[in-house]
């Protein structure tokens, strides 16, 4: 079975008041292409469909119209769970219309999918926190943990919980729940987990709403039962494989850059090729950057005006950082906005202490160290000696050329 894992669409989310619906539509168009081209059998959306529990009608329309196209009228089942941004009741309100369309909507850890034979797939078993799907004679068991707020998690466990169990940590409760549900995993089925929560050690960005400050709702990376072949998570907006476990635990990340803390890496989705009893084959697919966020560091007000003029046709969101020793005039701000549309923020920088500090910090590290860190960050493995040498030789060449030019 070929599964596509995505999450954190945040339909309806703005950037400093600017709508991103057009880009969100572009993403959905690209997703549709990938589903077709890669002959996907099942789509998983691991929560945060919308940015708010009360999404704008345009965002809902986008969601429904593309889901209908993605599932091809029920041929490609799509499993959707609620994230911490979604209103679970509202997300699943369309369920009576959804199953025939191949859409399975689950709001809370207690949500139960509707058992039945649909035109192109069947749900042969389902209960609180799990379901078993059959499609083209392949079977898949998914343990489903839509955003488990502390309250929802306790409700899920309350029947069996004594006082001692009440006192257990959030992470331990998730572990217990998964352990309990894992008896539904079968030898002859594909076994996966779909969830929306924060796993300790995961790398965040500025655009997630922290699940709880202080981190007490962080889940340890070792809570997942070993029989789970793939764990499709939502919440963190940076795509990543979770460290600290041997299992295939992934955050697919958001499809768009939702803050300027997300501009240094590509957004992606994962495609998981998987058979019962075998190791999942996971491939990362990079998405297009429909409208990048850029930070323009300007050395003066004149420089900022010049950059706005030179790049007026560039289709990007811009944060302007302008070094200046005086306040910007309204007329200057107006002129910048006239020259370049989609300036989301203009920040005057009156002194550059902070920047110097950062440069000092990096100065202490060698290029080799910086490269290794960067490479590991991107790939989760260390670069080979050959790669390091190649990188350093390219850098050295560049520096030599620079010197020639300067001299
Ligand atoms: Mn999110």
Domain boundaries defined on the chain: 2-286, 293-355, 365-406
R_g (Cα) of the chain, nearest Å: 24
Sign of CA dihedral 155, 160, 163, 167: negative
Q: Are strands 198-199 and 240-241 parallel, antiparallel or unpaired?
A: unpaired
Place of tokens 């609620």: 82
**H or E element: which one contains 391?**
helix 385-406
- The alpha carbon of 187 and the centre of ligand 1 are apart by a number of angstroms equal to 33
**Helix H segments across 182-237?**
none
- The alpha carbon of 96 and the centre of ligand 1 are apart by a number of angstroms equal to 26
- The alpha carbon of 13 and the centre of ligand 1 are apart by a number of angstroms equal to 10
- The alpha carbon of 235 and the centre of ligand 1 are apart by a number of angstroms equal to 4
- The alpha carbon of 160 and the centre of ligand 1 are apart by a number of angstroms equal to 31
- The alpha carbon of 48 and the centre of ligand 1 are apart by a number of angstroms equal to 5
- The alpha carbon of 83 and the centre of ligand 1 are apart by a number of angstroms equal to 7
- The alpha carbon of 127 and the centre of ligand 1 are apart by a number of angstroms equal to 26
- The alpha carbon of 69 and the centre of ligand 1 are apart by a number of angstroms equal to 23
Amino acid 353: pLDDT? 54
- The alpha carbon of 198 and the centre of ligand 1 are apart by a number of angstroms equal to 10
Amino acid 204: pLDDT? 86
Place of tokens 């070993």: 226
- The alpha carbon of 259 and the centre of ligand 1 are apart by a number of angstroms equal to 12
Structure tokens at 274: 């998987």
- The alpha carbon of 61 and the centre of ligand 1 are apart by a number of angstroms equal to 20
Q: pTM of this prediction?
A: 0.84
**34, 76 in Cβ contact below 8 A?**
no
Superfamily designation of domain 2-286: Metallo-dependent phosphatases (3.60.21.10)
- The alpha carbon of 324 and the centre of ligand 1 are apart by a number of angstroms equal to 36
Q: Beta-carbon neighbour count of residue 82 at 10 Å?
A: 30
- The alpha carbon of 76 and the centre of ligand 1 are apart by a number of angstroms equal to 24
- The alpha carbon of 240 and the centre of ligand 1 are apart by a number of angstroms equal to 14
- The alpha carbon of 378 and the centre of ligand 1 are apart by a number of angstroms equal to 21
Amino acid 386: pLDDT? 84
Contacts of 165 (CB under 8 A, 6+ apart): 157, 173, 176
Contacts of 237 (CB under 8 A, 6+ apart): 8, 204, 205, 207, 208, 253, 254, 258, 259, 262
| Each residue's pLDDT tens digit, 315-339 | 999 999 999 999 899 999 999 999 9
- The alpha carbon of 46 and the centre of ligand 1 are apart by a number of angstroms equal to 9
CA nearest neighbour of 128 among 157, 93, 169 = 157
Q: Is 320 exposed, middle or buried (0-12, 13-18, 19+ CB in 10 A)?
A: buried
Q: Beta-carbon neighbour count of residue 57 at 10 Å?
A: 8
Amino acid 97: pLDDT? 93
- The alpha carbon of 149 and the centre of ligand 1 are apart by a number of angstroms equal to 14
CA atoms within 13 A on the CB side of 33: 9
- The alpha carbon of 257 and the centre of ligand 1 are apart by a number of angstroms equal to 11
- The alpha carbon of 199 and the centre of ligand 1 are apart by a number of angstroms equal to 13
- The alpha carbon of 208 and the centre of ligand 1 are apart by a number of angstroms equal to 5
- The alpha carbon of 284 and the centre of ligand 1 are apart by a number of angstroms equal to 19
| Each residue's pLDDT tens digit, 253-305 | 999 999 999 998 999 999 999 999 999 999 999 999 999 999 999 999 999 99
- The alpha carbon of 191 and the centre of ligand 1 are apart by a number of angstroms equal to 25
Amino acid 406: pLDDT? 42
- The alpha carbon of 305 and the centre of ligand 1 are apart by a number of angstroms equal to 35
Beta bridge partners of 132: 125, 141
CA nearest neighbour of 294 among 267, 266, 257 = 257
- The alpha carbon of 207 and the centre of ligand 1 are apart by a number of angstroms equal to 7
Which stretches of the chain score pLDDT less than 50?
Answer: 403-407
Place of tokens 């079975």: 1
Q: Beta-carbon neighbour count of residue 249 at 10 Å?
A: 23
- The alpha carbon of 123 and the centre of ligand 1 are apart by a number of angstroms equal to 28
Contacts of 189 (CB under 8 A, 6+ apart): 132, 139, 140, 141, 276
CA distance to 106, 116, 171, 211, per residue, from 56 (Å) = 20, 32, 34, 23
- The alpha carbon of 395 and the centre of ligand 1 are apart by a number of angstroms equal to 37
- The alpha carbon of 205 and the centre of ligand 1 are apart by a number of angstroms equal to 10
């Amino acid at each position: 079975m070929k599964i596509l894992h995505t999450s954190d669409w945040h339909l309806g989310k703005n950037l400093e008041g600017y709508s991103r619906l057009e880009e969100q539509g572009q993403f959905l168009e690209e997703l549709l292409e990938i589903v077709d081209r890669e002959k996907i059998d099942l789509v998983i959306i691991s929560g945060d469909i919308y940015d708010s529990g009360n999404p704008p009608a345009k965002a809902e329309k986008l969601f429904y119209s593309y889901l209908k196209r993605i599932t091809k009228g029920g041929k490609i089942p799509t499993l959707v769970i609620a994230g911490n941004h979604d209103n679970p009741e509202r997300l699943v309100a369309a369920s009576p219309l959804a199953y025939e369309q191949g859409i399975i909507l689950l709001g809370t850890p207690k949500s139960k999918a509707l058992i039945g034979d649909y035109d192109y797939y069947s749900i042969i078993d389902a209960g609180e926190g799990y379901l078993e799907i059959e499609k083209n004679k392949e079977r898949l068991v998914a343990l489903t943990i839509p955003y488990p707020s502390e309250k929802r998690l306790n409700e899920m466990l309350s029947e069996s919980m004594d006082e001692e169990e009440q006192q257990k940590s959030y992470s331990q409760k998730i572990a217990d729940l998964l352990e309990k549900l894992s008896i539904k995993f079968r030898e002859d089925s594909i076994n996966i987990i779909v969830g929306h929560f924060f796993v300790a050690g995961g790398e965040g960005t500025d655009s997630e709403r922290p699940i709880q400050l202080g981190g007490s709702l962080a889940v340890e990376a070792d809570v997942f039962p070993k029989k789970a072949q793939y764990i499709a998570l939502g919440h963190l907006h940076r795509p990543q494989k979770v460290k600290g476990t041997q299992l295939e635990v992934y955050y697919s990340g958001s499809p768009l850059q939702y803050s300027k803390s997300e501009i240094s890496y590509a957004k992606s989705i994962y495609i998981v090729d998987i058979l019962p009893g075998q190791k999942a084959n996971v491939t990362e697919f990079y998405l297009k950057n429909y409208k990048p966020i850029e930070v323009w560091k300007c050395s003066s007000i004149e420089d900022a005006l010049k950059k706005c003029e030179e790049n007026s046709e560039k289709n990007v969101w811009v944060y302007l950082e302008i070094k200046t020793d005086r306040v910007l005039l309204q007329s200057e701000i107006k002129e910048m906005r006239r020259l370049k549309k989609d300036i989301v923020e203009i920040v005057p920088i009156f002194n550059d202490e902070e920047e110097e500090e950062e440069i000092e910090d990096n100065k202490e590290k060698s290029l080799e160290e910086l490269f290794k860190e960067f490479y590991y960050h991107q790939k989760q493995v260390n670069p080979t000696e050959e790669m390091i040498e190649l990188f350093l030789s390219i850098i050295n060449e560049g520096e030599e050329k620079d010197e020639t030019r300067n001299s």
